[in-house]
Amino acid sequence: MNDFHEMVDKIKEEIDKFKGICGVIIKNENTGELLQYNEKLVFPSASIIKLSILLELFKRIENGEFSLEDRVMLKDSDKVGGFGVLKELDCNLNLTIKDLATLMIILSDNVATNKLIDILGMDSINNTVKELGMKDTVLGRKMMDEEAKKRGLDNYTSAKDTLTIFEAYLNPSKIVELCPKNRDTIIDILKKQQCNNKLPFLMPKDIAFGHKTGDLPGVEHDAGILFSKTGNIIIVVLTKDLEDNAYGVQFNNNIGKIVAEYCC
């Protein structure tokens, strides 16, 4: 199936029968063909917010403020719950900035994420988001910060803003002008993703897909770039208000399968 419109029809069928609220974007970066559904609807970002942190990191690396080889010491006070492996390791571990970035993306490590937020500054991350025109995205709190959440602070995004992030990874802009080496490093990290139970689950195993997931009770997200002969296809699937998270996982599975069929 190489017809974009045929793919769109199949995805709309999935959206129509979906038990929950979703925001979906499929864009062929080579042809400009685009499907958008609820693209401006705001969702709890869950770990999708980590894509914005990654972009800010590489923007600052590009500016010479940091190097991927810079080292950071893991302290016991850094440890928080949720996803990741650093919380299980001994303190005084000497990690590189690249280690933190990689763990933040491929294992959604919350300790690594919070360390990067401390290094970069929450305001700086949010300022870059605003400069890119991302009106629906905000980093309001660190990972697992329940006290901040009780005060009404949280993290949000939309499908349109998530598309903007991936396009910033792929294409130089005046706001974030990444060199080819840094763009390649970002893509390489995304391709090493270990959480593969959603969009790529029913894709052919040899397909190249770099992505980031996110989930909370009632929320199942996945978004990334599928690299194919048809083009670089950005896929964004955000879901919320799920009675059962399995609905969101299955919806992601089906969308990923349909897009892969279009590319193959």
88: CATH = 3.40.710.10
Q: From the CB of residue 124, how many other CB atoms can be counted at a distance below 10 Å? A: 16
pLDDT for 169 = 95
Nearest to 165 by CA among 118, 209, 199, 133: 133
pLDDT for 146 = 87
- What is the pTM assigned to this prediction? 0.96
- Dihedral through CA 217, CA 189, CA 226, CA 42, nearest 10? 40
When divided into structural domains, the chain yields a total of 1
Q: Which domain holds residue 244?
A: 4-263
Q: Report mean pLDDT in 10-residue bins for the chain, 264 residues.
A: 88 97 97 97 98 97 96 92 91 95 98 97 97 97 90 96 96 85 97 98 96 98 95 97 98 97 86
Q: Which residues contact 24 (CB under 8 A, 6 or more apart)?
A: 11, 15, 35, 36, 37, 38, 39, 159, 236, 237, 238, 255
